Amino acid sequence: MKRFITLFLACALMLAALPAAAAPLTSYAAVQDQLLAGAYKVAPFDAILSGTVFAVQPSYTFKTSFYVFVAVDPDDVSMWSTEDDNFFVFLIDAGTDQAPYAAGDAVTVEGQVVSIYSSPVCPYIKPAKVNGADV
């Protein structure tokens, strides 16, 4: 019985030590602060960001992939870029050589911010969903 209780307590302590899954960040300023706090050595973290498509650029590597630059709300910024607007970027495979989005489209991107490809003034999101649809 002692062994069972000891094993049970050991398992409970190990489970308690595991970090809880953090809620996705939904603020561009919070994403910027997270990237700044870790000095670019930040593990991927979940984010849900919205904005307006500013530009869509084709990938040089893949014919059906596009980089989508999304301008964010200017009131939700922690650190300004040298441009007039702040952006985040994501890469999407459209499956065709036609861009899936155009300048002016509203998008909400759910995915992981990958710090190795990011800067605080232009975070890169590896998308899982765009406007609620899986990608």
Residue-wise pLDDT for 65-113, tens only, equals 999 999 999 889 887 766 677 899 999 999 999 999 999 999 999 999 9
Residue-wise pLDDT for 43-64, tens only, equals 999 999 999 999 999 999 999 9
Q: What local confidence, expressed as pLDDT, does residue 40 receive? A: 62
Neighbour-count burial for 61-72, b at 16+ CB within 10 Å, e otherwise: eeeebbbbbbbb
The architecture in CATH of the region 22-134 reads Beta Barrel (2.40)
Instruction: Find the distance separating the first CA and the last CA of the chain, reported in whole Å.
Output: 51
Q: Where are the domains of the chain?
A: 22-134
Of 92, 127, 94, give the one whose Cα is nearest residue 108.
127
